[in-house]
Amino acid sequence: MDEKSQSTTVRCPALVVAAPSSGSGKTTVVAAIARHFSNQGLKVRVFKTGPDFIDPHFLSFASGHPVYQLDFWMCGEEHCKQMVAEAAQEADLILIEGVMGMFDGVCSTADIAETLGIPILAVIDAGSMAQTFGAIAYGLANFRQEIEMYGVFANRVGSATHAEMLSEALPENLTFFGYFPKDSGLTIPERHLGLVQAQELEDLDTKLNLAASLVAQHSRLALPTEVEFTLKQIKPQSRMLDGRVIAVARDKAFSFIYQANLDLLVEMGAHIEYFSPIEKQPLPPCDAIYFPGGYPELYLDVLSEHYRLKEQVVKHVSDGKPILAECGGMLYLNNSLTGLNNQKVPLASILNANSHMQSKLAALGLVEGELTPNETLRGHTFHYSKTDSHEQILCYPISQRGRILDPVWQKGQVVASYIHWYFPSNPELVAKIFRGEL
C-alpha cells in the first residue's frame, strides 16, 4: 500500500493563539475560549507549543481533556502532526497555545501554525497603548506572508472606548476578535518556574468560568473555519514493557509529566501505579519507579520526614531495580537540598549528591542526551538549582544550540538528571531504562 492509501483526511475547526511576547495573556485567552465552548457541550482539545508543563495544567482543567506539547525538534514533526490529526477525529475545536513571541524559537508558534495550516489569533497586551496596537498587529500579520491571521485580541483594556480605539487602529484586513478588560480578576499568582500550579488554586474553576463569561461578553465568539489534517495509519507501539509495573510519583511536588510519556508507557504494555510522596503514601509494589520533576523545594519537611518511602526506595535500588529521576525527582534522590532560606534538608540519600536552590535561572532549553552509544533521547531543562554529585556520569547532554549541560548521572540502574525527557522521541531507549538494561 502506498502512503496515500494508508492515510485519511479529517477536518476540525482550529486556532493557534499567539502573541508578541510572553506575558501577553495567551494562556488566559485559550483557557477562556476552551471553557466557553466546553460549557456549551463541545469537545475542545488543547495543545501547548513548546515543552511547558504549567500552562497545560490550566488548559486541561479548562477543557476537561489532557493537553499535549508540540515541538518539531523535541517531539518530531510527524509525531506532532499525528497527535493533532488524532485530536481532530474526535474534537469540535482544536486550540493551540503558542510560546514566547509569535516568531521566537527554533520551532516558533508561527512555524507550528504554518506547518499545520491553522490560522492565528494574536493576543496583544494593550494596557498602555492605543493606535500602536494596530502597528503591532500589522507587524505580526505581515512579518511572514505564509501566516494566515484569524484576528486580533486585546488584553488588559481600560474601557469600551479604549477597545473601540484599538479596533479602529487595525488595518481593514485584520478582524478585532475582542478583548479582556483590565482588572478583570483573572490574574494567577506566579513563582520562580512560572505560574502557580492549577491544582494549587482552590478558586480556579470560578476564575475559568469568569474568563469564559468575559470572552463571551466582549468577543466575536464563534467556531473558526475547519482545517484539514492528514491522519496516518501507524503501526501499534511494540509492547516492550509488557507486564511491568511502573510506580509514578505524582502530586504537587512531582507534577511535571508529559501526558505523551504516560501514554507511551501504557502503549508499551506497562501498568502505572501513582503514589504521592507529600501525602506520605508508600511506594506501591513495582518493577521500576519514575520520579518526574516539580516543586520538591516547597515540600522539603514532609519529604524529609517520609521515612517509609526512603526505606522503600533504598531497598528498590539495592534490589537492582530501575529508577528514572528528572530534575525535582533527582533532587529528592540526592543526600540533601538546601532551600532559598539556606536551610539544608536531608532527603532520600540514594545518590551521593547535594543540591541547593538559587534565585537565578541555572539552565533553560531543549536538549539531547546520548544515553547509550548512538542512542539519544530528547527533552528540555529548566531549573533554579545547582547540584554537586559524585555519581558516575552517564553522558553530557547537548542543548539544541550545541552547549554542553549538566550531566546525566547513573548509579546502578538509577538514571538521574535535570532533564525532563520526552519519551516518544525514542521509545526503544525508554524501554531499556525501565527494564534496567542501560
Q: How many helices (H) and strands (E) does the chain have?
A: 12, 25
* CA distance linking residue 102 with residue 437, whole number of Å: 42
Question: What are the start and end residues of each CATH 3.40.50.300 domain in the chain?
Answer: 9-231
Q: Which CATH class is domain 9-231?
A: alpha beta
Is-catalytic flag, 12?
Answer: no
> What pLDDT score does 186 carry?
65
> What pLDDT score does 196 carry?
63
> What pLDDT score does 364 carry?
87
> What pLDDT score does 363 carry?
83
> What pLDDT score does 185 carry?
64
Nearest Cα to 338, choosing from 363, 359, 361, 358?
358
Q: What share of the chain is helix, strand, coil (3-state, %, to 5)?
A: 35, 30, 35
> What pLDDT score does 340 carry?
85
Q: What is the DSSP string of 171-189?
A: -TTS-EEEEEETT-S----
Q: What is the DSSP string of 346-411?
A: E---SEEEEEEE-SS--EEEEEEEEEETTEEEEEEEEESEEEEE-SEEEE--EETTS-B-SPEEEE
Superfamily of domain 245-435: Class I glutamine amidotransferase (GATase) domain (3.40.50.880)
Question: What are the start and end residues of each CATH 3.40.50.880 domain in the chain?
Answer: 245-435
> What pLDDT score does 84 carry?
98
Out of 12, 75, 107, 327, the active site residue is 327
- Residue 296's H or E segment, with its range, is none
> What pLDDT score does 3 carry?
45
Q: What is the pLDDT along the chain (438 residues), one digit of tens a residue?
A: 344 458 999 999 999 999 999 999 999 999 999 999 999 999 999 999 999 888 899 999 999 999 999 999 999 999 999 999 999 999 999 999 999 999 999 999 999 999 999 999 999 999 999 999 999 999 999 999 999 999 999 999 999 999 999 999 999 999 999 999 997 766 655 544 455 665 666 678 888 999 999 999 999 889 999 999 999 999 999 999 999 999 999 999 999 999 999 999 999 999 999 999 999 999 999 999 999 999 999 999 999 999 999 999 999 999 999 999 999 999 999 999 999 899 999 999 999 999 999 988 888 899 999 999 999 999 999 989 999 999 999 999 999 989 999 999 999 999 999 999 999 999 999 999 999 999
Distances (CA, A) of 410 to 183, 312, 351: 50, 19, 9
Look up the pTM and report it. 0.94
Within 154-254, residue ranges assigned H as helices are 160-169, 204-218
C-alpha cell at 226: 475547519
Chain centre to alpha carbon of residue 160: 35
